[in-house]
Structures are given as structure tokens and as C-alpha cells.
Amino acid sequence: MVYVKSTSSIIPSKPTPVGVLRLSECDQRMQWTHIPLIFIYKATDDNNEKTKTVETLKDSLSRVLVPYYPLAGRLHWIHGGRLEVHCNAKGAQLLEAYSEAKLDELGDFAPMKAIEDLVPKVDYGSPIEDWPLLLVQVTRFSCGGLCVATVMSHTMVDGWSAAKFFNAWAKLARGNELEENEMPFHDRTILRSLHEPPMPPRFEHIEFTKPPLRLGHTDAKEEKKKETCVAILEVTKEQVEGLRKKANEIPCQDVEMVSTRPYSRYEAIASHLWRCICKARANDNSQPTRVTLVIDFRSRLKPSLPPGYFGNTVLQTVTSKCVHGDLLAKPLSYAAGKLREAIERMTDEYIRSALDFIASQKDVGALRCGLHNGAHTNPPNYLGNPNASIISWINLPFYGMDYGCGKPIYVGPALLNDDDGKTYIMSSPAADGSLIIALRLQTECMNSFKKFFYEDMPW
């Protein structure tokens, strides 16, 4: 059991700008619910450190909300299913909690019920204008371990922006000050459509089309009813490098790509995941399948965005037409090539066209990414069987979140919704090249998937 001892409203420690913050097309497309993350810290021997941790977090959060003042505001609905931020310093929320459990009772920290209890809850039944954009729950375990669980509105941040905020917060908690080059850049209009009215799309934006359904089905109702479960997989550096070598050693001529550079860690492990997921589902060889990827385009724009840009700088891309039979019969480089092709599609011109496409929608809600936590308004496209969504957190600097009591021993998603095929690839805390994979699959497929995942590894 987790017992909440207190709830505090944390407002900026100094006066902050007041007014309306306009959001970009990328922000508008994101789910307006919150991204849940957990940061786990091992026990310390310093009892004084234990008692002052929460006060340190409160004080430093109040201070970091000065430069990051939009997070202390509130969302408001405007026309066409769109949102804007009212910067009104209403503040974030911090809960102090206690658990009678010990850290080792949580196993590998897979996002299950015990982990969900560590996460602050948002009352999605209340008006959106009342929701804090940032909530934090600090839970102390009986063994002295600590969990800092955060939920941040996805309308406000992507992974990179969240990581920059967390590291700024941690730096202040350690008693240091932020440098000028660490300050956030808040003008999101630079990521709005450049044209008024928006230009017609210059590309066929297949990422906004409906994903394939299982053969013989006209909707995904049957698949959505199936029970799902989650798993945490560990992949050693040697296994990662083995997959990279396998992906690169047998070229596949069936996929046209612009670049010929070797496949990355992400491309190799994601292509292996995709194949093993399909193999475990055991669909017909003619079953179409596609993968949804999330691409950070900060450095892909010309000119690139300011380094401190705070907001969403990601768009989805999807693999082109592919069927199970080809994916499983051809070398790993075929799947990797499909992923590379989707990634290379995200050029400056393509991104600008996508922004115009989003801006041209009368109701952007139809394009909004999948919602979660029971807060569905417009049911999103079903990305599960026969498809998958594989997200990379490999390069996100979450393990720098040291409040003065050491770095976290684990960082990961606290929820994986109920989305079959949703997968996160993350760096491990060992920082030795090994990876951690969190995924949700239909329960009937999970054991087969695990078996194929490790058996099909090159040794």
C-alpha cells in the first residue's frame, strides 16, 4: 500500500510572465494527458538526507518553475480542438507518500499495478483548466529507497524537453545555479506553419493514414478486447552489437534508401523487435504490418531550432507497406531498411509539409496521438496487432537526475497504457551500452515473443 501524507501546490519562487502561450502544430497533435515517468533511488545511510529530501525537492521545484514558468500554467481549449497555455503561475502539485514495501519487492519495475500506485493521479473528469501540467509524487519505501514519479502534460513536452527540465531541477536541488545557456526558449510560434492559410501538403503523409487491420476484419474491436501484459527485457552490449552486425552483414536490395551508413543500435534492435512481435502473433504471411516511430527533428530543420527550445519537436513516421511473410523470410536488413526508409523521409521539407497538414485541419483532434489513462475523447487509431509502435529513449539523459542523493538506479515509463505492441527502448543505468526494453503485448503472445526474442539473437 502507498499512503499519501501530504499534497502541496508549488508555485514559482519569483514573479513570472503572465499571458497566453501559443502552441505549435506539434504540441497540438500530442495527447493532452500526461506522460508518467518513475525515477528510482536506492537507500542512503544518511537519515538527515532522508528527512530533507522532500523539502529540497519542493524548494528547487519552486525555483526551476521560474525559467520554466509555462509548466506552472494551465491549458485552455480554443477553436478546432486546439489548446493554448495560460501562464498564470497556478503551480505544479507535489505529493509526499510512504510505502510499507521495499524496493526489491518491485522486481524489475515493470509498469504494473504496484508501480501505478507510485504515480500521482490527474482528475481527468474535471475541466482541463484545473489540471496541473506537472505533478510529482515522492514515495519513501520502508527500506529507505525513494521513488520520484512525475507526470507531465504531453502537450507541453516531449522526451528531450522533459529531460532538460528534470536536469535543470536536479541541478538546482544540488545547490548549483543554471547557466545562461541552460535557459529554456519558449517561443513556440517558430514551429507553427509558415503559411497562412497553410499550403497544401507536398507529400503523401502516410503517417496520418489508418494502420493496417488484421486480415478478415473491418475494425479493431476484437483485438482491443484481448488481455495484454507488460514485460521488461534486458539486452547486453554484446547482444546489441551482435544484432547490429547481423543487420549490416547481409544487404537487402528490396528497400531503397538515401544513405548507406551502417544501421544504428536503434534500427537493429527495433527491427529485431518488430520481427519477433510478428512471429509471436503468428498471423498469415500476407498480413500487412507497419511500425510507428517517433522522430525528434530538432537538428533536421533548416535552420535548426534554438538549443534551448522547450516544447514538442517530434513527429511520427511509419514504415511503408510490408507483409509478415517478407519480414520473417528476408534478412534482418530488410526490416532495418524499412525503418531507415521511414526515418530518412523526415527531411526539412517533409516536416514543414507535415506542419502545414496539421494546421490545415479544421479539428486537430482527429490527428491527435493516442490518449491514455482512461481519458479518451476521440478513440485513436489502433496501433496494436498487426502493428507496433517502437519508441527510442536511448539518448535521453534521464540518468542525470541527481538531487544530491545519487543518480537513479532505474528510469522508465510508469504506464504502458493498454496498447498492444507499444515498446520503449532505453539505455540501462549501467551506461555500458546495454539496453532495457519495456513493452506491452497481448498476453497470449508474450511467452512466444520472449522465446523468439532471445533465441533469434546472434551469438
Can you read off the three cell numbers belonging to residue 146? 525513494
Looking at 147, 172, 191, the residue that finishes a domain is 191
Total domain count, the chain: 2
Looking at 141, 173, 191, the residue that finishes a domain is 191
Measured on CA atoms in the order 360, 362, 367, 373, is the torsion positive or negative?
Answer: positive
Q: 273 and 340 in one domain? A: yes
Looking at 191, 210, 234, the residue that finishes a domain is 191
**In the prediction, which pLDDT does 376 show?**
40
Q: 367 and 254 in one domain? A: yes
- Structural domain contains residue 122: yes
Q: 318 and 173 in one domain? A: no
The C-alpha cell 519508441 sits at 391
Which residue range forms the structural domain that includes residue 348? 218-396+416-455
Q: How far is CA 175 from CA 29, 171, 397, in A?
A: 37, 7, 20
Note whether 110 and 231 are within 8 A (CB): yes
Residue 318 has phi, psi (to 5 degrees) of -135, 155
Q: 337 and 277 in one domain? A: yes
Instruction: Give the DSSP H/E element, type plus range, for residue 5.
Output: strand 2-10
Amino acid in the structure at residue 200: P
Distance CA 73, CA 65 (A): 10
Q: 164 and 239 in one domain? A: no
Q: 235 and 146 in one domain? A: no
Distance CA 458, CA 242 (A): 6
**In the prediction, which pLDDT does 372 show?**
39
Q: 177 and 229 in one domain? A: no
Distance CA 335, CA 91 (A): 46
Q: State the CB neighbour count (10 A cutoff) for residue 69.
A: 22
Mean pLDDT by 10 residues, the chain (459 residues): 94 98 94 92 69 88 98 95 96 96 89 88 95 97 94 96 96 95 94 78 92 94 93 95 92 69 95 98 97 95 93 96 96 95 96 93 81 44 92 92 90 84 94 94 97 89
Note whether 142 and 102 are within 8 A (CB): yes
- Structural domain contains residue 410: no
Distance CA 207, CA 318 (A): 5
**In the prediction, which pLDDT does 245 show?**
95
Q: Which residues are catalytic?
A: 154, 402
Note whether 131 and 122 are within 8 A (CB): yes
Q: 147 and 258 in one domain? A: no
Q: 18 and 111 in one domain? A: yes
DSSP calls for 115-176: HHTTSPP--TTS-GGG--SEEEEEEEETTS-EEEEEEEETTT--HHHHHHHHHHHHHHHTT-
Q: Cis peptide before 288, with omega less than 30 degrees from 0?
A: no
Distance CA 169, CA 176 (A): 10
Residue 361 has phi, psi (to 5 degrees) of -75, 130
Q: For the chain, count helices (H), then strands (E).
A: 11, 15
- Structural domain contains residue 406: no
Note whether 315 and 367 are within 8 A (CB): no
Distance CA 378, CA 131 (A): 19
Distance CA 240, CA 433 (A): 8
Q: 280 and 157 in one domain? A: no
Q: 223 and 186 in one domain? A: no
- Structural domain contains residue 283: yes
Residue 196 has phi, psi (to 5 degrees) of -135, 110
Distance CA 296, CA 160 (A): 8
Percent helix, strand and coil across the chain, each to the nearest 5:
35, 20, 45
According to DSSP, residue 41 is labeled: E
Distance of CA 183 to the CA centre of its chain: 23
Nearest to 393 by CA among 335, 351, 435: 435
Q: Give me the half-sphere count of Cα atoms (radius 13 Å) on the Cβ side of residue 393.
A: 24
CATH number of the domain within which 150 lies: 3.30.559.10
- Structural domain contains residue 367: yes
- Structural domain contains residue 203: no
Residue 92 has phi, psi (to 5 degrees) of -95, 175
- Structural domain contains residue 208: no
- Structural domain contains residue 238: yes
Q: 225: Cβ–Cβ under 8 A, 6 or more apart, which residues?
A: none
DSSP calls for 69-95: GGGGSEEEE-GGG-EEEEE----EEEE
Q: 352 and 228 in one domain? A: yes
Distance CA 80, CA 57 (A): 38
Q: 266: Cβ–Cβ under 8 A, 6 or more apart, which residues?
A: 392, 394, 425
